[in-house]
Amino acid sequence: MSAQTKKIAILFADISGSTAMYEKLGDLLARQLIARCISILKTALHTHNGTLIKTIGDEILCTFPTAEIAMNAACEMQNAIKTDNQTSEYPMYIRIGFNFGEVIYEDDDIFGDSVNVAARVAEITRANQILTTTAVVDSLPLAVHDKIRKILRTGIKGKQEQQDIFQVMWELEDMGSTRIGMSAYRKPPQAEVKELTLSYRNQKFILNEQNSKLTMGRDDSCTIIIKNDFVSRQHADITFRFGSFILSDRSSNGSYIRGEDGVVRVNREDSKLRGNGFISLGQPYSDNPPDLIEFSISPKS
């Protein structure tokens, strides 16, 4: 079959932490959970007139007719996984990267620079994020530009110049102020300035825009030091990013967040902190861990 070219949106959706899932849950259960997650992604894909190119283990590659349709599909994928997690014993998290440009169709697959850029963007995306490119933003209607935030400028393999990378604000609470047809020049409402308070034993720690990062672990260089054999030397970070407080686990045993939506285990990936709750480093709550970090998010005073 002869090769054909077409300008479309290219999207990669990848399940975060799947390798650790196989190690923790075993092959059978992990495969079932991943298959369920892929099925949810495919449902959103077909709802938005997308084409599945291929499934690559725990990742799908798909295309959409326009950048706006791809963005809407990406948001639905994230929200569908979030909804499913509310009733699942084993929550899943995905990361999505997409681009817009010309591709080559050949033997039921796609090739070209635009595909390579989409893949690179997906590689630098974290769990629960949707990242995209200038090519996508330039192709979107002005009415939806308030859903996009430029977050970094970085080098992409194969490109001589650094590229602007944008985040899509996909969560309903993040997008609640969006209105169809809103003027692109209207000044957006000011975001609520938040503050995170962490309490461990008799110590209190504050995170906000000015003091935006702390480290937790066994090492004496950490901000919150927990001398426990289950805790790694540099166990996890909490950072203030894009208006949210993000826990990034870098440990062997994982971190357990108990909040308003139940308990979430994070292992070598990210999770957003919400409301009030507790963090256990390295030990599940079923083991009655002695070292709990209490957290509370509130408007900055």
Are 180 and 68 spatial neighbours (Cβ–Cβ below 8 Å)? Answer: no
Phi-psi label, residue 206: left if phi above 0, alpha if psi -120 to 50, beta otherwise: beta
Predicted confidence at residue 100, as pLDDT, reads 98
Predicted confidence at residue 258, as pLDDT, reads 93
Look at the pTM and tell me if it is higher than 0.75: no
Predicted confidence at residue 180, as pLDDT, reads 31
Predicted confidence at residue 139, as pLDDT, reads 95
Predicted confidence at residue 192, as pLDDT, reads 54
Domains along the chain with CATH numbers? 4-175 (3.30.70.1230), 194-299 (2.60.200.20)
Predicted confidence at residue 255, as pLDDT, reads 96
Predicted confidence at residue 301, as pLDDT, reads 58
For the chain, the average pLDDT equals: 87
Predicted confidence at residue 268, as pLDDT, reads 84
**3-state SS track over the chain:** CCCEEEEEEEEEEEECCHHHHHHHHCHHHHHHHHHHHHHHHHHHHHHCCCEEEEEECCEEEEEECCHHHHHHHHHHHHHHHHHHHCCCCCCCCEEEEEEEEEEEEECCEEECHHHHHHHHHHHHCCCCCEEEEHHHHHHCCHHHHHHEEEEEEECCCCCCCCEEEEEECCCHHHHCCCCCCCCCCCCCCCCCCEEEEEEECCEEEEECCCCCEEEEECCCCCCEECCCCCCCCCCEEEEEECCEEEEEECCCCCEEEEECCEEEEECCCEEECCCEEEEEECCCHHHCCCCEEEEEEEECC
Predicted confidence at residue 103, as pLDDT, reads 96
Low-confidence ranges of the chain (pLDDT < 70): 1-2, 157-158, 172-193, 242, 261, 300-301
Predicted confidence at residue 172, as pLDDT, reads 55
